[in-house]
Amino acid sequence: MGKQHHKYRWLVFVSVLFTYLMMASQRTAPGLITDQLMKDFGVAASTIGLLTSVQFLVYTSLQIPMGILADRFGPNFFLIVGAALTGLGTIFYSLGTHEFVLFFSRLLIGIGDATIWVNMVLILAQWFQKKEFVRLIGFAGMTGSLGFLLATVPFATMILLFGWRITFFAAGILLCLCGVLLYAVLVKHPKRIFPEEPVAVTEEAQREKTAVLLRRICSNQQAWALFFCHFGVVGGYVGFISSWAVPYGLDMYGMTRSDASQLIMIGLIGALLGAPLTSGIASWLATIKKPYIVVHITVLLSWLTFLLCKGQPSFFLLVVLFFLIGFGYGASALTFAAVRQSFPLAESGLVSGFANTGGFLSAALLPMIFGYVLDITGRLEDGYFYGFIIPTIFSAIGLIGIICLREQRQKAENNSL
């Protein structure tokens, strides 16, 4: 009995997704303690924005290299190491007494986080049949949003009860244990059940193939359309909630930390609904571009509403806006559906990494620029108002990207994974 028919594959599925859940939570959990870090370490808002951006910049820069390495050496090793690095980085973060330690720890977390998506997709592709994979990859995408959800009220409650240092230390230990679990599930135990399959691809040939694909992608208008499309819907949401959403609720609405994290949770609910709903609509209409254009317009109008309301909409409208922006982030899974539709399978991994780079480049830039804007404006109200110009511009770029996308129809075998 092969891997794709053995019941052991479900243990692999649960183990990998649980690790993704924990790693995804550490993308946004630091946003819960932004104000505390500024107070405890005596740093400015721009420093906190840069601290958040470091993780996303590292993640962004490693997406394409990680895809190349995973194809060449296999995904198991990198996912195990990534979980361990994320855990160690989180532990260092909890023990830090100087801002340098905070930067170093977020650097480690960024390196670890960069391993998860590409390697997780490859692992699931190895263990599941094509039809199963198509269904389960949706659950994998939703797991990231569940990780963000974990970093709202549950994490905020833990911080309230035990303090932020103990909470992050415990999360770091759990992530290190996830690395141990993955080694047992992906490496040690399968060797007793399944024979190893040799890979007969020379390193030189692989390098030549990668170079050709990279040149083709970087000169392809369709790939750049997907890059900017993902840039527009991911960065505003991920970049904002990872650093400034909680302080925004505290400063502009006088919320408690728990209330502000509940506000973020509204956006995460939107993200959880956005992925399956928009994918279903796109499948029903037999088009990706049309529903995705609607999503981009909705996100752009949502950020514009913050500007029209001078940075402080009514509470009811605020809830609606967070939901819509989160919904747009969930719908960003359509980017990778468009990748599969537009490119042959041999190139889809690198193109997915290229598109994902666009999304997290904007997530890296937004916290840093937003923090700088808060620092140079005298009043918080003005700072947040001008800060919202940034995600508005980003979402406009995303709309241009999806408009430029040429929807193509591939043969059935090219559309199946």
Asked whether the predicted pLDDT for residue 18 surpasses 50, the reply is: yes
Q: In this predicted structure, what is the pLDDT of residue 226?
A: 92
Average pLDDT, the chain: 82
Asked whether the predicted pLDDT for residue 85 surpasses 90, the reply is: yes
Q: What is the pLDDT confidence band of residue 133, given thresholds at 50, 70 and 90?
A: low
Whole-number Cα distances in Å, 31 to 35, 97, 301, 326: 9, 18, 25, 16
CA distance 197 to 374: 55
Q: Is the dihedral of CA 167, 168, 174, 178 positive or negative?
A: positive
Q: What is the pLDDT confidence band of residue 417, given thresholds at 50, 70 and 90?
A: very low
Q: In this predicted structure, what is the pLDDT of residue 260?
A: 82
**Token couple for 125:** 């592709």
Residues 19-34 have a mean pLDDT of 84
Q: In this predicted structure, what is the pLDDT of residue 242?
A: 66
CA distance 359 to 330: 12
**Token couple for 412:** 């059935």
Q: What is the pTM of this model?
A: 0.72
Task: Spell out the SS3 assignment of the chain.
Answer: CCHHHCCHHHHHHHHHHHHHHHHHHHHHHHHHHHHHHHHHHCCCHHHHHHHHHHHHHHHHHHHHHHHHHHHHHCHHHHHHHHHHHHHHHHHHHHHCCCHHHHHHHHHHHHHHHCCHHHHHHHHHHHHCCHHHHHHHHHHHHHHHHHHHHHCCHHHHHHHHHHCHHHHHHHHHHHHHHHHHHHHHHHHHCHHHHCCCCCCCCCHHHHHHHHHHHHHHHHCCHHHHHHHHHHHHHHHHHHHHHCCCHHHHHHHHHCCCHHHHHHHHHHHHHHHHHHHHHHHHHHHHHCCCHHHHHHHHHHHHHHHHHHHHCCCCCCHHHHHHHHHHHHHHHHHHHHHHHHHHHHCCHHHHHHHHHHHHHHHHHHHHHHHHHHHHHHHHCCCHHHHHHHHCHHHHHHHHHHHHHHHHCCCCCCCHHHHCC
Q: In this predicted structure, what is the pLDDT of residue 383?
A: 84
**Beta-carbon contacts of residue 7 (< 8 Å; ≥ 6 apart):** none
Alpha-carbon dihedral angle through residues 242, 83, 131, 412, given to the nearest 10 degrees? 70
pLDDT, tens digit, 9 for 90 and up, residues 275-321: 778 877 887 887 889 999 999 999 999 999 999 998 889 999 999 99
Residues 344-368 have a mean pLDDT of 79
Most trustworthy range by pLDDT among 39-43, 124-128, 188-192, 288-292: 288-292
pLDDT, tens digit, 9 for 90 and up, residues 193-222: 766 554 434 344 344 466 777 787 888 899
Q: 261 near 149, Cβ under 8 Å?
A: no
pLDDT, tens digit, 9 for 90 and up, residues 331-342: 887 887 787 777
